[in-house]
Structure formats: structure tokens, C-alpha cells
Structure 1
Amino acid sequence: MKKIVTSTLFAWLSLAAYAQGTYDASKIDASLTKDAVAVVRTEEQFFDFKNIGSGQLDYKIAITVLNKAGDDFAEMAESYDKFSSIYNIKATLYDATGKKVREYKSADIRDMSMISDYSIFEDNRVKLLKFYSTTYPYTIEYSYSQDFKGILSFPSWRSIKGYGIATEKSVYTLQKSPSVNLRYLASANLKTDSTKNGDKTVYKWSSINVPAISSEPLSIGFDNVVDWVKVSPNEFEYDGTKGNFNSWKNFGDWIYKLNENGNTLPLATKQQVQNLTKDVKTPKEKMRILYNYLQQNTRYVSVQLGIGGFKPILAEKVAQVNYGDCKALSNYMKALLNEVGIKSNLIVIGNGMPGLNPAYSSMGQANHMILSVPLPNDTTFLECTSQHMPMGFIGFDNSDRNVLMITEDGGKLVHTPAYSAKDNFQDRKTKVNFAEDGTAEINIKATYGNAQFEDNFGMLLIEPTEQRKKINQSNDIPGAELGSFKYEQANKAVPIMTEEINLKSNQLLSKGGDKAFLTVNLVNRRESVPAKLDNRKTYFAVPFSYQDLDEINFVLPKSYTIEFLPKDISITSEFGTYTAKFVAKDNTITYTRTQSMEAKKFPPEKYNELVDFYKKIYQADKQKAILAKAP
């Protein structure tokens, strides 16, 4: 008996010792801690797709936080709404050796609304727990179950959770009953295990020992270098509606039906529309008048309640309250146009996201809605959430991508307009007048178009004191003192704005003996060059194509002569082009600079060539003229 008790005690102690050391940080392979701030020790995600309207998720994860930079990963933040519930939450904190430090209770977990800064109505909630430790490394572990009553999408999965976080082991298992169908889209090299569990089909995806990836400049390709899978139901039932996601046509048919009978306007609004357009001859001008009416009489407010996250508020309601989200305002504009006999179509779009995948229709590829107005030989896309943007300008985050047009025949993939480098222009002329003592009066006049208009547009909306502050913060002219300035959008119908700034400086000429040195590029210099990267992982691109045109005229003091002027420079690459020209006439130096960049997608191995291109521009932008002072 003594031997049996001793053996049992030994076995229990061994098991306890093993449990305590499971998350021992010293046992993490060195290849996983390299470039990592945290390591996922284990992740288990099991989703049971029971029938068209219900499913259950069981989830467990343990993350070892290696240093303070990884503290952002020490958090449980799991969302739910009125169509799902989260329960059976367990959470534990471990020290560096894997010893349990704290087991959290229900009272430690916050249950709070997820109302966004831009939302007024939203029924999403979150179960939130922030783990804290004063020593590193430490490990967090939590698990929960979640039931769904209405399924539009399934949990997605990646082999690693983000930049700077490695994975020891992660498994995603999805089980479906024979009564339902699904589709999945996976990365090229990810293996899918498919087995049978009785009459149910089980899919499994996993990753083991995946090193961390560092964030890289201009990166657009995280999903090109990690394994991932996205899963979507074919048929679904949600908030009293049914639909089918097996094609974009059927997806659009669901959206169209959600909006049926939602375009009725109040009589007073109808009368207003007729009064505004009664003497207007062309559809384009009617559209312009009604778009201005929309901008002047409504404001954007997000509404995300149940099916309201997808179904627009009735046009009649928007007319009464004068606000709505992107769906409601687009639908309202559609109703206004319909009143004057102009047909339009709602557009489902991913703002700032890749275009819709033509081969795989699913929820989650879009986050926004705009409107398309197909006139003869001219289709105009309208961004209906902005009170300021010109009609037809949808912004670079909406441009040049596949989107879904909603028609009475279902969804149809179309492409939004692309803005070229010449469209996204900056045209700036600068005049510098030197006094005999070297003090300079500087006048800068710039014009910005399309994407560069969008980048600078905020200056039109803020007070002069804030404008002054921002000018001073961005000003790189040595010793410059800001005088007057002005921002203007002369024609509200086009995405073009102007800027005029006047400054003074007595530090433009650096002197050495009887010589003075003048950096000729005064206002648009590349001030740094990114470091080269060995073994870069991700694809890259500049945010948008653009063209910068700069002309600077320096009127020199009469007591100075031009002793040296740099030679013209021309740099051409697949990333873009650059030229700098230097002309001297009488006592004036005219410097012209052009730079044009293309927002093409480039593979990782091309990145160091981009750095070399930027380095040449950096050196070209530092060119100096040498002036000699008469005795």
C-alpha cells in the first residue's frame, strides 16, 4: 500500500511539474524569439457549423510576451452581438518559468460596448481583459466558447497573428454537418486536411514553428508570406433574412432585397427636389445640384444594429433626421436621383482594402458603400459620406479596385476609376528675392490635385491658428519666419486646392570666405533614405501614383555672381522618374524639379533597388550653387 501511495504521489507531482513548465519561456526555440516581441505558444480554434443558422466556436490561446513592446498582445478582446454569446471564459497569467501567477475571475473581465468614435448606434459588444506583468517574459492564456444564432462568415485564420509575433503551434479545425455547404480560400502552400467524423466533414489547417516577420517599409504583402485560410458559408440565415454567398451575383441579390421599398421620400423632400431641378436641362447638372443638396443637409453617423449593419436606413428616415451611415446616405442619394428620373446603383466596396476577389465571394471583403450613376458615355461614382469632397471624386482609398454593383438582377463586379500620377499632382512655384544683406523674402504658391488634394484638404477645414501651427511643423526652410498664408478651393466642383505661403529667412546662404553656398532645392527635398533590407519578405508599393512639379526662382543680390551651378540630373527607373534642371540668366537662378512615382506592386527582392533610387534623389536634392561676392 505504501508503495502504491508513493507511486501515485510521484505521478501527481510529475504531472503538476509538467503543467507548471508548459509555458517555460526558456524552452522557446531561438528561431522563434528572433525579431519577436511575443510568441504564440499554442492556439486552438474549433468551429462547429451545425446548421444554416447556428454554430459554436471553442477557442484557446497562450501567448508568451517577451518584452515591453509585446504588451499589446497581452489582451483578450473578443467581440459579440445580439446574435451570439460568449461564455465559459477562463484566463490565467504565468511567469517566465511557466508558474501560475494569477487565475482571473469573471469579475475581472469587462463587458463593454464597442461603439466606435464615428458610431451613434451599434450593438456590438466586447469581453475585455488586459493582462499585466512587471517582469518579462510572461505568458497569458485564455479560452472561451461562443454560440452563434445567424452566421454570415466563419472565423478566419493565419499562421502568425501579425508583425513581430511568432507561432509555436496553431490549429484551426472546422466541422460541418451534411445539411450545410461551405467554401474556403487558402494560401498557395497551405495543406488542408479533410476527414469524416461520422456523417460530418472535418477540415483542419495548422502551422508549427513559424518565425516572426518584422514590419517593413511600404509593405502591402503580409498575406503573401504567411499561411492563411478564409471560409464562407454558401447559404446563410441572419436576422430574419436568407441569402446565398456562392457567387457575387447572389451576394448582390441579397443586398438588393434588403433595400427593397427603401427609396421612398417624404412629399416635402420630393417637392424640394423638383423645385431645385425644375429649370435644369441635363442629367449631369441635376446630379450636381442634388449631390450638393445631400452634402449641405446631411451628415455621416454610423449605425450598426443587427441587419442594420448591412441594410440601409429608409430614405424617408434620413430625410427626417438628416444623418445616416454610408449605406443610408448612398441610398438616400439614390432616392433623390430617382425622383428626377436618374437611375443609379449602390456599390459595395472595400475602402482601403484590396479589390473584391472575382473567384471568391464572401462577407468581409468590403466595409463601405458608395453610389454609381451611369449616364450615357459617363459613369460617375459618388462618395456620399463627405460634406466637402467634389462630386465624382471618391479618393485614392476607393479608386482602382473591383467593387460590387447592386442591380435588380443581383451583383455585378465593376472597377472604380484609377487616378494616374498626372492626376495626383502637386504643382509648386517658389520665388526667392535676396536683399544685399542675404535676407530672403520667400513666396510659395502650390496647387494640389486629386490624391494630393485629399492629402492636404484638411488644411481647408481648420482655423488659421491651427494652419499656422501645421505650416511651422512641416517647414524645413532654415531660419524661416512665417508671414502670411492662404488656402483656397476656388472651384468646389473639382478636387483641386491652392496654397500660398510667405516667409522670411536670413539663413539660406551659408558663407565661407568670399563664397556663399545655396542649396537650390528649397522646398521639396528628400531628407532621408530608408535602410536596405536583406531577405525582405513582403511586397511593396507607394500609397498612390503621383507627380511633383517644382520651380524655384532665386533673384540674387547684385553684389553676387554665380560661380558654379550643378549640371542637370535625370534619373529613370521602373519605380518612377526624376529630373533636376539648373539655369542661370543675368542674376537669377531657375531650378526645376520633377518627380513621378507609380503605385505598382513590386516583389520583395526589388526593394533595395528602390532604396538606391531614393538615394540618388536624396543626393540630387542636396545640390548647391556657389556664389562669389564682388570685392
Structure 2
Amino acid sequence: MQTSFIKLTLLATYLFFSTQGVAQNIAIKTRSEHVLIHKDSSFTKTVTILLKENKETITYPIFYDTELERITDIKVYVKKGKRFKLVKNTIINEEDVELDYIASKKIKSITLPYQSETKIVYSIKCKELMYFSDLHFFSYNEIDSLKYQISVPNTFRFIHNTIHKDSLKHMTIDSIKSDNHTKWNIEVVPVKVKPDPLLFFRVYKNIREPLMRTLIIPKTYEGNERKYLNDWYLQKAETKKGLNYAAIRKIDELTKGISDPKKIMTILYKYVHNNFKYVAIEIGMGAFIPTHANEVFTNKQGDCKDLSNFLSEALNYKGIKSYIALAATFDHISDCDFPSLSSANHVICLAYIDGKPILLDPTDPIHLSETPVQSIQQRSILIINPDGGEFYKVPGFSPKKNVISYEIDLEANSNTMVMDGEFKVNYNGISGNFLKYGFMYSSDREANKLAKKHYESVFGNQSISDLKINHQSRVIESEGKISANGKIFKDGDKKFFFIDFLPKLFETEDRETLLEGTHIGSPFSKKVSSTIKMSEPFQEFNPIEHSFSFEGASLIVKISNPSEFTIECTYEFVFDYIFVEKENLEIANKLLTSFKKIINDPIILQKKS
């Protein structure tokens, strides 16, 4: 997987630079696509690109999927006076995309010499209508105007849904109906995005850009678009089901003497988790249609759709109703709440025990059955079933199920002013998943090093030692010694005491100000209790309390002195969001700012006379 992404990056680097080694700056006046839907459920795109004057030789790439698409009629024109003249003997190179898990992608590279203006025209023929799943309204090139025309026979219907529309400066859409066709005309000023190699393969990862999700359905499915996608998928996946003798024998061996459906489910889930290798990246129909269950069992490997399909077959064989479902993870451009292949980037397994749906993600190595899948919590999935499919909202964890608790005991040294002591931390639910993922493929020594670095960051770069970690399936327990320096300053009979060593609010983020789109991971509740024993008695001070409460988030900080030697600092922080988004961005940053001010203000301790 890592090798594939390195190759993707190298490939993109090659395409973003010209043969002279300087970055390509392809400025485009207009890009237009005329999409003609055929009655046999295939379609053809005629693409016309009008480029502005280029002052150097550039290479224009066309990526396509040889499994589904065919590129024809590539023509290049240059502007002579007021007209465009066809260029003969255009240099067009074709290369395979040599990546481990992308076997069907190729690139046609068109070399364009210096010209005043250039026009490129080519056609893409695709045999699978479901592959026409989106129109992107963003580009890594500078484009003045992006136009789409979709010609749909009257025996079909065109449905669409645009996400992140707010970022568009201009968008128009209209339709013209004739006796045989309806023509949809769409024009936008696209959003320019940073170059990303994944965009070449229609993999929209960690971006929030405008995209129109599309679906062409037969007229007979009008008003029931979900059923159309569901039935199409069922038909495609039907040939990938069934278990051979070897698979059945292994399943029977694993579940011998067990009749409890929940125990059987857990055994088979763990078996796939622990014995099957996850491989990706898949493109085109290969991103959604699974490999046959028997092939997955034989090779003991596959991606999300392959492992989920095999697990579903194994559960159904044991009498546990199970389906696969299309899903969109937190880093995908959209939620899976619209029936289009572009809505999903993931496939999971769904089992029913006593009528209750239980999500199973065999590609998530630390997911536990009967808990929400972290990557898709609070997002919709499309369950593929014989009843026409079902959209299902995945529940999320509540902050109460993801409690992080800190206990810190420190003692100040009167000579050095250093505070030494111990701390204990518990992560419950999935609050410690970010550590579990790091521990997974690490030795004990590496895990300890990773955790030490983490806690030094959490405690504001204080010294951590003698760290011990106990990580189980549902809990992580850590304990160690901490030494805090530079937090006590003397000034005559007064001491200035700083508490900026208290654990930061968001452990997965280093930024002091969060950005829109930041993925927190899961809602959580954090409780911190710190007791500091001073070396000399001090006068009693009035307890200090700060309280902030917003919709879905709250922070309560208390500072008190239960004795003439002791200071107690506690806080409780609740954040009931998975993402930092427009509606909670201000809330999150207000809490961070308020907390920073509290811990940066000194507590003034007056020496007791």
C-alpha cells in the first residue's frame, strides 16, 4: 500500500512538470464535456479543451481505465489568425500506470509545443453507465469555465446532487427537452485545488470541494433510484458469491460445537481480521465489485469489498443473515446518502443478530464487533439487500463511552523548584485508538518510544520516564513518572505557580487553533485531576473556577487549595463532535483560547507568615 502511494506521488510529479524540469502551468480558457447516453447503457464523452497561450512545451495527460474506457479521435489544433488549424503528427505517448494494485489504468500524454492558443479534442467511450457517477467542479489546472452537456434519452432519467456548492463562484444548470432526448447544460467556474495524484484516479481523499454526484436510471426506476443502484450491485456481485468445500470445512472447524450466533459471528470476524491481508488500491469497477469469495479465501487477502464479501458469505452459511454495504469514510469527499458510486469509497459487512444490525469492518484491524466503526460513525451507508437496499445512519460513540482520565500527583522541591511525581491515564472506548493504531505494528520498545513522545507533547514538553503501557481491546492504561520544570518562580514572599503542564484538550492535534475540516476522531470526555504538594506552606486563596458551555461542548476548570501545602487543579472537557466544521469551529477555538489563557495565568501563592 505504502509503495503504491509513493509511485503515485512520483507519477504525479512527472506529470506536473514539463520535460524542461519546470512546473507546468496549464492555463485553460474552457473545458467542455458532451456526455451522450446510449440506449444500450453505455455512454460517450466528447471532451474539448481550449488552452491559453503556453510559453513552453507542456504535456497534457489523459488518464483512462482500459477495463471500461476507450480513447478515440484525439486531435490537436493550433490557432492561426482567427481559426484553429489541425496539427498533423501530434506526439502522443501511452504508458501503463505501473502500480501494484492498479492494473487497468493507462495514460495518454499529448505533447503540446509553444503556440498562441491550442485546442484538444478527444472521445471517451465507456461500456458501463454506472461509471458515470460524478462531475467534478474543481481542477488542479487554472480553468476559466467548465461546461458539461449531458444528453439523456427519454427512456432514462438523470438525477444529481451537488455537495460543497457554497465554494463555487458561479454555477448554472438548465435542461432542454426534445422528442427523443433531454439535454442538461451545466456551467461552473471551478475551484482550483492543490495537485494531488489521487485526483487522477477519481479518488477524492481529504478534500472538501464541490462535486455533483450523478446517476442515470431507466425510466422504470423513476422515484426509486436507491433500488436501481442496489439491484445493479446485487447483479454484479451475485457471481462473486458461494463457498467451496475448503472454505466450508474451515468455517465448520472454527465454529465446531458452538450454536450461539453472536459467538459464531465473533469467531469468524476475528478469523478474517487475524488471517487475511488487506491490499488496495482499486480503481474503476474493481473498486466496488468484489473478487470471488473462494479466491479471497484461497489467497487470504483482499481489500474492503473482498474481505467483507467473504465474511458475509461465511456468516450466511452459518445461518446468520448478513449483507455488504457501501460506505463513505470520514476522509471521503461526500457521505453515502445519495445513490451514486462516487458517494462511497468503502465497503463493510453487516450482520443481524436477533434482528439488530451489527457493523463489521474486516479491514479495520482494531474494530470490535457491536461497536460503531470509527471511520464511518454518524455517516450513512447503503445496505445492499434483496429488498431494494436501505440507507442506514451509522451510530456514533457518545462522549460518555470515550472517557479519557488523568490522575497526576506532583511534589515540589524547595531547592530546585522542580516538581516530580507520577501520572496515570486511562483511555476507554475508542478514545485511545490513535495510540492503538501506532502500537499495532510496533515492538514493545517502539511502542514505548511512541507513547513517551506522545505524553511529553501532551504535558507541554515536560520530562517523562519509567513509562508502562497496558493496551487491551477496549482500554489503554498508561502510567509513568513526570518531572515539570520552570513552573514555580519566587519573588520575595510570593511564588508564581504556572499550570501550563496540564494535559492539552485535544491530544491528536498540535495546532493551537483548529482548522475547518479537522478530524477529531470521535466525541470524547476528558477528566484531569492534578494534586501538587508545595515545599512550603502558603496562605489560603479563594477557589478559582472557570466554566464554558456551548452546544455539544463544555469545559469546567477548578483550582483550589485543600490544605496549606496542597493545590488541586482539575478540569472536565466534553466535545461531542467528530469533525471541526463551520458550525462548531468557533466553539472549538474559543475553548482552546480560554483554556490557554487559564493555564498561562500564574497562581499567586503568598507565603504563610
**Under TM normalisation by the shorter chain, which class is it?**
0.7 to 0.9
- 1:186–1:230 Cα contact (<8 Å) kept: yes
Query: Alignment partner of 2:383: what SS?
Result: strand
1:472 to 447, 453, 475: 453
1:573 aligns with 2:561: no
Q: 1:443 to 1:127 in 2, by over 3 A?
A: farther
* Preserved CA contact (<8 Å) 1:61 1:142: yes
SS of equivalent to 2:272: helix
SS, match of residue 132 in structure 2? coil
Which residue identity does 1:624 align to in structure 2? P
The alignment partner of 1:455 has SS state of: helix
Q: Mark the CA change 1:622 to 1:89 in structure 2 (over 3 Å): closer, same or farther.
A: farther
2:463 is aligned with 1:481? yes
Aligned residue type for 1:42: T
Which of 400, 418, 434 is 1:455 aligned to? Answer: 434
Against the structure 1 CA distance between its residues 356 and 618, is the aligned structure 2 distance closer, same or farther, given a 3 Å change threshold? same
> Post-superposition shift, 1:62?
5.9
Report 1:394-433 matches (<5 A): 394-433=372-411
Bigger relative contact order (CA 8 A; separation at least 6):
1
Alignment partner, residue 176 of structure 2 = 195
Shift of 1:428: 2.0
SS at match of 2:274: helix
**Corresponding residue number in structure 1 for 2:186:** 205
Q: Does 1:173 align with 2:149?
A: yes
Query: Does the CA-based 8 Å contact 1:266-1:319 persist in structure 2?
Result: no
Matches within 5 A, 1:337-352: 337-352=315-330
Partner of residue 389 from structure 1, selected from 337, 358, 367: 367
Shift in CA distance, 563/122, structure 1 to aligned 2, threshold 3 Å: farther
Partner of 1:239: none
Deviations 1:226-275 (A, max 9, x none): 6x643322149xxxxxx999521232223223333644334344333333
Report the Cα distance in structure 1 between the residues aligned to 2:297 and 2:193, rounded to whole angstroms.
Answer: 50
Shift of 1:466: 6.1
**Per-residue deviation, 1:44:** 1.8
Name which of 304, 310, 327 aligns with 1:332. Answer: 310
The secondary structure found in structure 1 opposite 2:309 is: helix
Q: Secondary structure at the match of 1:256?
A: helix
Does residue 509 (structure 1) correspond to residue 480 (structure 2)? The answer is no
Relative to structure 1, is the Cα distance of residues 426 and 59 closer, same or farther in structure 2, using a 3 angstrom cutoff?
farther
| Residue range with higher mean Cα deviation, 279-288 or 578-587 | 279-288
TM-score (norm 2): 0.76
Between 298-307 and 373-382, report the one with greater CA deviation.
298-307
Counterpart-to-counterpart distance in 1, 2:390 and 2:242:
24
Shift of 1:606: 7.4
Structure 1's unaligned 5+ residue stretches are: 1-36, 67-72, 95-102, 215-219, 237-242, 533-537
The answer for the alignment partner of 1:14 in structure 2 is none
Moved more, 318-327 or 264-273: 264-273
- 1:81 pairs with 63, 66, 75, which one? 66
Corresponding residue of 1:48 = 36
5 Å-filtered alignment, 1:276-355, equals 276-302=254-280, 304=282, 307-352=285-330, 353=332, 354-355=334-335
AA aligned to 2:214 is: V
User: 2:11 — aligned with what?
Assistant: none
| Match of residue 113, structure 1, among 81, 92, 97 | 97
SS at match of 1:618: helix
Alpha-carbon distance in structure 2 between the residues aligned to 1:261 and 1:198:
39
Which residue type is aligned with residue 576 of structure 1?
A
Change in 2 beyond 3 A, CA 1:182/1:548: same
Q: Describe the shift of the 1:576–1:132 C-alpha distance in structure 2 as closer, same or farther (beyond 3 A).
A: farther
Residue number among 187, 211, 216 corresponding to 1:233 in the alignment: 216
Distance apart, 1:615 and its partner CA: 2.4
- Which deviates the most, 367-376 or 416-425? 416-425
Which region of structure 1 is more displaced relative to structure 2, 317-326 or 376-385?
A: 376-385
Matches for 1:47-196 after TM superposition, within 5 Å: 47-61=35-49, 76=61, 78-87=63-72, 109=93, 111-113=95-97, 115=99, 120=101, 122-127=103-108, 144-154=122-132, 156-157=134-135, 159-161=137-139, 168-178=144-154, 180-186=156-162, 190-195=171-176
Structure 2 counterpart SS, 1:599: coil
1:142-186: CA deviation from partner (whole Å, max 9, x where unpaired): 654322222213363355548xx8753222112234554433335
1:522 aligns with 2:510: no
TM-score scaled by length of structure 1? 0.73
**Aligned partners of 2:428, 2:31: CA distance in 1, in Å?**
48
Secondary structure at 2:268 match in 1:
helix
| CA offset digits 1:538-594 (Å, max 9, x no partner) | 89996642222111122322x353665761111112251100012322322221111
SS in 2 for 1:475: helix
- RMSD after superposition: 4.3
The alpha-carbon distance between structure 1 residues 126 and 335, as it changes in their structure 2 partners (threshold 3 A), is same
Aligned residue in 2 for 1:500: 479
Which shifted more, 285-294 or 145-154?
145-154
Matched position secondary structure for 1:79: strand
State the AA in 1 paired with 2:556: T
Following superposition, the deviation at residue 293 of structure 1 comes to: 1.6
Q: Which of 269, 272, 275 is matched with 2:250 structurally?
A: 272
In structure 2, the residue matched to 1:617 is 595
Query: Match of 2:216, as an amino acid?
Result: P
Q: Percent identity?
A: 17
Give the gaps of 5 or more residues in structure 2: 1-24, 80-86, 195-205
Shift of 1:84: 0.7
Q: Distance in 1 between matches of 2:551 and 2:226?
A: 35
